[in-house]
Amino acid sequence: LAKTTQPISMDSYEGQEVNITCSHNNIATNDYITWYQQFPSQGPRFIIQGYKTKVTNEVASLFIPADRKSSTLSLPRVSLSDTAVYYCLRSTNAGKSTFGDGTTLTVKP
Amino acid sequence: GAVVSQHPSRVICKSGTSVKIECRSLDFQATTMFWYRQFPKQSLMLMATSNEGSKATYEQGVEKDKFLINHASLTLSTLTVTSAHPEDSSFYICSASVGGNRGEQYFGPGTRLTVT
């Protein structure tokens, strides 16, 4: 299965912008990239999805370069409540959706 | 909108018994539902993909006779862990999608299964 690669952990401080990059070198033409947030003992929560270039919503931005081999989730002005595990998900047109190992983001006061 | 529920949220059962977990899409019809398993401090592992009215597609290494999946309607899928053993203790999470696998997935809150 095609997994994505992310940093295992990141630390940040309240109010800072956080950028988490995900590698997906073997991404196929029809694949989408979706980011999820997960708190302990809860199901993942959708953050943002994209195919190419830049997508922005009320909570985050997603940057995907032209070659689509990576993507960067940008969280503006994080708060303590943003401490969670963030997953970059590659959704393939074969019907498989594989989670990578996730990035544990710790936001400090 | 796009709420997915799971029941029960937590279950403890004895070794050798079977446990059924329900996954419901509350305000939309899900053409595809997915079942994941997550062990402590690990990522989600896809167990199977189910489409309404057809047999589930299981991932390699997942025993289909042990993890029975039924997707009888567009709003309900069930996972039955048969003859559960302590090693089946895990966090089971379902998700539902309207547009196949490329569409956004809506996840349930998860079910914590403990087998004693």
pLDDT digits (tens, 9 = 90+) for A30-86: 888 999 999 999 999 999 989 999 999 999 999 999 999 999 999 999 999 999 999
CA–CA min distance A24, chain B (Å): 16
Residues of A in contact with B110 (CB under 8 A): 41-43
Burial A20-53 (b: 16+ CB within 10 A, else e): bebebeebeeebbbbbbbbeeeebbebbbbbeee
Interchain pair B43, A101: CB under 8 A:
yes
Residues of B in contact with A95 (CB under 8 A): 32, 49, 57, 100-101
Compute how many other C-beta atoms are within 10 angstroms of the C-beta atom of residue A70: 18
Model pLDDT for residues B35-94, shown as the tens digit of each residue = 999 999 899 999 999 888 888 999 999 999 999 999 888 899 999 999 999 999 999 999
pLDDT of residue B100: 53
Distance CA B114, CA B34 (A): 21
